[in-house]
Amino acid sequence: MNNTGYVRIDSLPPPDQPRFTDWLFRQTRPVVSSEIDATGQPAACAYAWDYARWLSENKPTALSDPLST
């Protein structure tokens, strides 16, 4: 793959994997021949800019106040 940034979905935090995969529906995704999963198939990957966008739109930007109850 030509220097295009990507992330392996199975390397993301486990709680984020299904939510990010759902968000990726109908998005273009790279197939990286050097990234193989445990079954010998190409691992699920996503473009780094898609992951960055998902983080900025779908993840909290600040932790909640631990003292507020």
Q: Which of 6, 3, 1, 17 is nearest to 46 (CA)?
A: 6
Write the CB contacts of 45 (distance below 8 Å, at least 6 apart in sequence): 6, 7, 8, 9, 29, 30, 31, 32, 35
* Reported pTM: 0.75
pLDDT tens digit at each of 69 positions of the chain: 456 799 999 999 999 999 999 999 888 899 998 999 989 999 999 999 999 999 988 765 555 556 655
The confidence score (pLDDT) of residue 20 equals 92
3 state DSSP class of 45: strand
